[in-house]
Amino acid sequence: MSQHDDFLPDDEHEFDEEWVSKSQRKREMEQLQELGTKLPELNKEQLAKVPMSDTLRSAIEEAQRLQPRSEATRRQLQYIGRLMRGEDADEIQAAVDQFEAGKQAHLQVFHKLERWRDRLILGDNTDLQAYLSEDTGADIQHLRQLLRNAKKEASLGKPPVAAKKLFKYLRERAEV
């Protein structure tokens, strides 16, 4: 190749497998930066499961110690993004995706329990029977008492203390 290969027309770059456009490199760096901003949000147990270098791990720990939304945090996140260039981003992304999938599943269960609570309070005995057919180990008497209290509370316009107790019971039952 001659010294003038930098001036090749764009269609000739298609055959050069190592050539990447400046825009593509910028998009890749932004993706690494975005992935790097998710890492300080993980807890210690999750971070321990993410494959990364000790340098990146200590940079993430430093970012966790800084005040959120500060200039120092912004600079630290940029540093983490630069360190991400030397890491196996695919493995890190797979670990983060796994944690986010678990978080999403937890939210789905939480919303399902909220719907059950509302359905039980607003509904009638058929809704209670539907719940009991799904959760066969529930304490029927205790559940009925919680429902009576929550319905009475709702009819009187009081704060939802009993409804919260009902939700707590449903959540405990879901964890069994």
Hey, where are the domains in the chain?
A: 5-87, 101-175
Tokens at residue 39, please? 């890492």
pLDDT at 164: 94
The string of pLDDT tens digits covering residues 134-163 is 998 999 999 999 999 999 998 998 898 999
Whole-prediction pTM: 0.54
pLDDT at 165: 94
Residues 6+ positions from 133 with CB-CB distance below 8 Å:
none
Question: What CATH code is assigned to 101-175?
Answer: 1.10.60.30
- Average pLDDT by stretches of 10, the chain with 176 residues: 53 63 85 87 88 92 89 91 88 88 88 92 89 91 94 90 93 86
Is 21 strand, coil or helix? coil
Do residues 71 and 92 make contact, with C-beta atoms less than 8 angstroms apart?
no
Question: What CATH code is assigned to 5-87?
Answer: 1.10.60
pLDDT at 117: 93
